[in-house]
Amino acid sequence: MVEVSTSILSVKKGEEAEVFLTLEKSKTDYFHIDVMDGKFVEKDTYQKMLEYAEYIKRLSNLPLDIHLMIEDVEKGIKEFGDIEPNMITFHYEACKNKEEVMKYISKIKDIHCKVGISIKPETKIEEIYDFLPYIHNVLIMTVEPGKGGQTYLKEMTKKIENLKKYIDEKKLEIDIEVDGGINLNTMEEVKKAGANILVAGTAILKARDYSQIIKELKK
C-alpha cells in the first residue's frame, strides 16, 4: 500500500487553517513537517514548524511525520516529541558517529514514536544498513534537502531499488519514504523502485483538487 505524506512547508501565510483541514478531508495519510535550523540547511523553519505541528495536532487526528533537518537532533526530539507525533526522522549526516545514531534511535523510541533515518542524495544507502533492524522508516532524499519545488534526482531511483532489495532479503519490515520532486510524473518510477510513502509538497499544494492528486499518488 502506498501512503501520502503532504509537506506543508510552502503553505501560504493566512491560508494555513483552510489548507490543513482540506488536506485532512482529502485523505492525506500524514502531515510532513520539514524542520530546518539554518545550520544543517540554510533555511530556518524551526519555530514556524513547531507552531504548525502544534496547531495541526489540535485540529486533526492525522499522524505527524516530523523530518528533522537540524544539527541539534536531541533538542528536536525533545521539542517535537512533546507534540506526540507518529514518527520522527533525523538525518544520518547530522550524527557524529554510530553511537550517536543509536542514542537518537533509543531516545525516539523512549517517547513511543516511530523512528526514521534520512539520508541526503550523496550519502550511500549502505552506510545505514547496520541501523535498519532498529528503525521503522528510511527517508531517502530525492533532492538536496533545504527547499521545496526542486526536480527529482533520477540517480536516486537506483538507491531506492537497492534498499528495497536489501530489506526484502533480510526480511525487515521498514517503510521506504521518498522526499523531493515527487509528482504525477515521477511517482511511477519511485513506486516501482519500492517506495511506499511518498512525500509531496508542491505537487499537492499547487493542485486545484487535493483529493484528486492524493488519490492518484496513492494508486
Q: What is d(CA 197, CA 218) in angstroms, rounded to the nearest whole number? A: 9
Q: 4 vs 167, which CB is nearer to ligand DX5? A: 4
Residues in the chain: 219
Residue with cell 528510511: 138
Active-site residue identified among 29, 37, 65, 179: 179
Q: 29 vs 34, which CB is nearer to Zn ion? A: 34
The 3-state DSSP class for residue 1 equals: coil
Nearest CA-CA partner of 10 in 37, 40, 36: 36
Q: 130 vs 188, which CB is nearer to ligand DX5? A: 188
Binding interface with ligand DX5 (CB under 6 A): 7, 9, 32, 34, 67, 143, 145-150, 179-182, 199-203
Q: CB of 171: closest distance to ligand DX5 in angstroms?
A: 29
Residue spans of beta strands (DSSP E) within the chain: 3-7, 30-36, 64-69, 87-91, 114-119, 137-141, 175-179, 197-200
209 is catalytic: no
User: Segment 173-192, which members bind Zn ion (CB under 5 A)?
Assistant: 179
Query: Among residues 36, 41, 67, 203, which is the contact residue for Zn ion, using CB under 5 A?
Result: 67
User: Segment 9-38, which members bind Zn ion (CB under 5 A)?
Assistant: 34
Give catalytic residue positions. Answer: 34, 179
